[in-house]
Structures are given as structure tokens and as C-alpha cells.
A = this chain, B = another copy of it.
């Protein structure tokens, strides 16, 4: 996933970027960073950990200036070594730039190998470094044209923020797989962010999405927005997972409120449901809207029968021998007072490996649930998503190697049902196309 945010023409841009990253913490908890441009110098601070642990007032005050970009990292490409945090700042012929990148380049190894053959050196494992090299090696005079040249070489799903000392470039790939939106701050500055929930926190108004294949250029000191449709033949397909579980429910992705979409998916599950049950229970938090939609449609009561503990520890304390299923229990606690002897329909957003679902079912059984029916508000995940999500290899995807009945037996439920791909599309809306690789294996990015 990852999150990017950029701010221009706003006092204390880095602080606004900080709050944008904070609002989008769910998109990446591994590392975060902010670059700010001040007095013709770009300064970067980045580290491992949560946004609120990395930054403090002193650090943010040292990141002065009217322009800044930031990044939350969720380890997709690149290893988990500590050097792999973004934005990446570098000096090149036209001066300083800093780049924040959300997505995954499918030809990154070829590009990297080619660059290395030409003498490039790499300091990190991140494909973002490819983009900077390509910009630096271009013979074009203008940064804009250098970026264009680079973008014609890389392939994949990406949203890019590139900050020079006076300009901010916001770019979305021609498939528009990852979301990127523009907002206006109360002091007239602009903000660009992966998710609109970042706008709400900083008091910005949504203006519009960056279009698939569009490059938007903001300039320090000017309120003009330049726009270039840099890819003429676009095939817009926002990633369906943004609706299924990436985005916060309060975000609006491509004009659709995520919470409403999830409720719709739950409603679709309800429409085809044949099970009678005492209650509908979500796996919190992401299963909540679909469970509500299901309950509203089916009139089966909704119950928050699994309680989630939101405190998280940085160090995992090795439990004593007796504590089984501890990692799941640290987050989720099913209430036997509610579940005892009940027949329940559990709503979750996905089954990836199946291991967590299996443990949740064990805990529900221990809590006394009599019948457990699992309904997934998404289709079976049969293929790895190589466009930016950290899905495991094919072989680890339980639905790649097993049919529904086998999965049902593995996780130990009385019945199991998924959405059909077409139902997913219907639930989000038929007016546009979606990236559905995990479900249909159609790797359309070429």
C-alpha cells in the first residue's frame, strides 16, 4: 500500500504533511519520512516506526518551508532493512529532488539491471531509486521532460510525488490503480494525498482526483495548477482492494465513500444468504461496514461480539507456554456472554492464508458459538497482487490451492461464502473498471 502526501504554498508545510501521514497511518506502519524544501535546500527526516513515534515538534520545526512531501512505508518492494524508508532525496544535474512513491514497478528488476550496467549505484532496495536514476540520466533540459522520459520506461502501478526546490509534481499511472487526490487548505495552499481522510484531519477541501495518466505541477508562490495528460491511452482501473480493505472507511475513493461501498458488499452477501442465524458479527474493524450492510438487509441483528483491543506493543513479549493463539487474542476477544450457544454469521473482508481466520474460529468456538458461518465481503483471493500489495506467493494463498469446501474445512466453519467477482463489481459500481488481479489473475499492466 503505502501513503504519500504533499503540501505546497502553506506555512509549516511539513506539519500539515505530518498530520496527513498520521491520518493515513493504516496504509503503512513500517517507516515514515518527510522532505521539506526551504531556502533552496531540501531537508529529509525519515526513520522506522509509526509517524507519531518518529516525529516530534523539534524535528518538525527543523523541516521548514512552504513545500513538503511525506511517505508512510508498508514493505512491498524492498527488504525490511532500515535504510528502506522514503522519501528519497538526491542531488542531480538540475539540483535537489525528493521522491515519494506509492506502488510497485513490474519491470523494476530489468530497469535496475540496465541502470547498473550503465554504471548506476544503488543505496537501497526500493524501486523508487530507479525513478531518480532515470530522471538524472535523462538528457532533457526540464525536470518535467526528464520525468516524462523516466515514466515511459517504468511500468507498474504508482502514484508519485516529486519535489524539486520550487515545484511539486503529482503523477498517477495510466491505470490509476492507486488513488491520489488534490485538496485545498484553508490558507490557500494545495495538498495532494493518497486518501481523502488526510484532507479531513487538516481541514482541507477535496478538489478533485489526479486523473489516471495525469501529471499535475504545482509551483511555489503560484496558485496555478498545470495539468498534463502524459499518457494518452489510459485504462483506468482503481484497485478493488482500496474499497475492500486498504482505505479508511471515511475516505472517498474515486468519488465513492468506502464505508458505503463496504455496506453495499455486505448487502449483496445478505441478498444471496440462505443461512438462518442469531446474529451477524463483524471481524473488527474492517468487517464492520459489510456486517452492518448485511444486517440491515437481512434483519438479522448486528452484534459487536468480537472486541478489538487497539493498544499495540512494539516488542512482542514471548508468552508463557500456556498462552495459545496469543497474537490473535492480543487484538480480538470474542465474548462468550453474547456468543454462547448462538448461531452466528461472521463477516470478514478477506481470507488470505486462512491461518488467522482459523484462529478466530477457534476462539469463537471456545466462546461457545454453536454454528459459525463465514461470509467474505470479497471474492476468493487466488492470485498474488503484484501492483502494490503485500500478498504472499501463490502457494501461500489458501484459495489458490483449495476450493471453497476445502477452505471451509480448514478454517473449521459450518459454511463459507464469498462474493462473486461480478457481485464485487456491482457492489462498487459498474460505471468504471477495477483492478481485480487477485481475483481473476488478469495482470493487465504491461
How many copies of this chain sit in the oligomeric assembly? 4
Residues in B whose Cβ lies below 8 Å from that of A153: none
How far does the alpha carbon of A259 sit from the alpha carbon of B326 in the complex, in Å? 23
Residues of A within 8 A of B (CB-CB), count: 90
A244 CB → nearest B CB, Å = 17
Q: Does A120 contact B (CB under 8 A)?
A: yes
- Contact bitstring A333-375, B, C-beta under 8 A = 1, else 0: 1110110000000000000000000000000000000000000
A133 at the interface (CB under 8 A from B): yes
* Residues of B with C-beta under 8 A to A57: 315, 317-318
Stretch at the interface among A10-18, A413-421, A428-436: A10-18
Q: Say whether A123 contacts B123, CB under 8 Å.
A: yes
What residue in chain B is nearest A7 (Cβ atoms)? B320
Q: Which of A71-123 contact B (CB under 8 A)?
A: 81, 83, 88-93, 116-123
Query: Within the complex, which residue of B26, B260, B301, B310 is in contact with A296, where a contact is CB–CB below 8 Å?
Result: B301
A404, chain B: closest CB distance, angstroms:
29
Q: What B residues does A52 contact at CB under 8 A?
A: 311-315
Q: Which of A211-256 contact B (CB under 8 A)?
A: 248-250, 252
Q: Are A11 and B92 in contact (CB under 8 A)?
A: no
- For A112, the closest partner residue in chain B by CB is B91
In the bound complex, how far is the Cα of B136 from the Cα of A53, in angstroms? 37
Q: How far is the CA of A72 from the CA of B312 in the complex (A)?
A: 16
Q: Residues of B contacting A44 with CB < 8 Å?
A: 83
Beyond A187-B322, A309-B23, is A315–B121 a contact (Cβ under 8 Å)? no
Tell me whether B122 and A307 are in contact (CB under 8 A): no
Q: Is the Cβ of B322 less than 8 Å from the Cβ of A250?
A: no
Point out which of A50, A200, A301 has the most chain B C-beta atoms below 10 A from its C-beta. A200
Taking CB atoms and an 8 Å cut-off, the chain A residues in 1-57 that contact chain B are: 10-12, 15-16, 18-19, 22-23, 25-26, 43-44, 50-53, 55-57
The answer to whether the Cβ of A423 comes within 8 Å of any Cβ in the partner chain is: no
Q: Is the CB of A303 within 8 A of B292?
A: yes
A298 within 8 A of partner (CB): no
Asked if A311 and B136 make an inter-chain contact with CB atoms under 8 angstroms apart, the answer reads no
User: What is the CB-to-nearest-CB distance from A387 to chain B, in angstroms, rounded to a whole number?
Assistant: 24
* Minimum distance in angstroms from A348 CB to a CB of chain B: 16
Chain B residue contacts of A133, Cβ below 8 A? 119, 121
Contacting residues, chain B, for A309 (C-beta < 8 A): 22-23, 25, 248
Q: How far is A410 from B223 in the complex, measured between Cα atoms in Å?
A: 39
How far, in Å, is A318 (CB) from chain B's closest CB?
Answer: 6
Q: Which of A19, A60, A248, A324 has the most CB of B within 10 A?
A: A19
Q: Which of B56, B90, B313, B323 contacts A121 (CB 8 A)?
A: B90
Using CB atoms, name the residue of chain B closest to A92. B121
The listed residue (B18, B26, B250, B288) touching A333 by CB distance below 8 A is B250
- Contact present for A330 and B60 (CB under 8 Å): no
Are A311's CB and B91's CB within 8 A?
no
Q: Which residue of B lies closest to A129 (CB)?
A: B121
Neighbour of A329 across the interface among B51, B186, B200, B249, CB < 8 A: B200
A349 to chain B, nearest CB (A): 15
Bits for A258-278, please: 1 = Cβ < 8 Å to B, else 0.
011000000000000000000
Q: Which chain B residue lies CB-closest to A304?
A: B288
A58 CA to B15 CA, complexed, in Å: 23
Chain A residues packing against B (C-beta within 8 Å): 10-12, 15-16, 18-19, 22-23, 25-26, 43-44, 50-53, 55-57, 60, 81, 83, 88-93, 116-123, 132-133, 136-138, 185-187, 197, 200-203, 248-250, 252, 257, 259-260, 288-289, 292, 296, 301-305, 307, 309-315, 317-324, 326, 329-330, 333-335, 337-338
